């Protein structure tokens, strides 16, 4: 089979310099598209805004569902941890009463353990009050101290 010979360009294509555009528009200058009507532009903007609003609502719903799931499990595990802490504190208190009862008697041992637990509770309440003040400060409108404490 003989090698294919390229066809020479048609005579009308030869010699026309307006068709050379360095590869950007090989068929000459592009024809400007007709202007887009304003109604079409406004319709596209409204559609885009509506899609953005729907996406935001979907995001808020998803975040709410995730928060609800997290709050449920956090409260469940927090309840279990709090119950275990109460049982441990009771065991510690009963053990302390039993140990002290050998040295000072059961009544005085009970009073000592109650007094120590009240001191611990007072200390923890004082610390909680300090941190509650931080929470109140975070939700204030003005952050300057002394105003609307």
Contact between 59 and 53 (Cβ < 8 Å):
no
Q: Which pLDDT score is estimated for 21? A: 52
In a domain, 50, yes or no: yes
Q: Is the dihedral of CA 103, 106, 111, 113 positive or negative?
A: positive
Residue with tokens 């532009």, as numbered in its chain: 41
In a domain, 65, yes or no: yes
In a domain, 18, yes or no: no
Residues 56, 71: Cα–Cα separation, whole Å: 22
Which pTM does this prediction carry?
A: 0.47
In a domain, 144, yes or no: no
pLDDT over 60 at 20, yes or no: no
Q: Give me the domain span that covers residue 132.
A: 38-138
Question: Strand, helix or coil at 108?
Answer: helix
Q: What is the mean pLDDT of residues 65-81?
A: 90
Q: What is the mean pLDDT of residues 70-88?
A: 92
In a domain, 20, yes or no: no
In a domain, 80, yes or no: yes
In a domain, 6, yes or no: no
In a domain, 122, yes or no: yes
The total of structural domains in the chain comes to: 1
- Confidence label for 15 from pLDDT (cuts 50, 70 and 90): low
Rank 29-33, 46-50, 99-103, 137-141 by mean pLDDT and report only the highest: 99-103
Residues 149, 140: Cα–Cα separation, whole Å: 9
Question: Strand, helix or coil at 77?
Answer: helix
In this predicted model, what pLDDT tens digit does every residue of 93-139 receive, in sequence order? 999 999 999 999 999 999 999 999 999 999 988 998 888 887 777 77
């Amino acid at each position: 089979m003989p090698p294919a010979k390229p066809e020479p360009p048609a005579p009308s294509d030869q010699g026309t310099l307006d068709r050379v555009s360095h590869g950007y528009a090989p068929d000459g200058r592009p024809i400007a598209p007709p202007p887009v009507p304003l109604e079409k532009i406004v319709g596209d903007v409204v559609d885009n805004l509506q899609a953005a609003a729907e996406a935001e609502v979907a995001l808020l719903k998803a975040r709410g569902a995730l928060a609800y799931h997290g709050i449920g499990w956090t409260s469940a595990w927090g309840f279990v941890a709090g119950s275990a802490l109460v049982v441990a504190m009771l065991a510690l208190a009963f053990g302390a009463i039993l140990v002290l009862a050998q040295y000072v008697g059961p009544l005085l041992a009970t009073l000592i353990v109650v007094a120590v637990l009240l001191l611990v509770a007072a200390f923890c309440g004082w610390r909680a009050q300090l941190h509650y003040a931080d929470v109140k400060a975070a939700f204030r409108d003005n952050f300057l101290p002394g105003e609307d404490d």
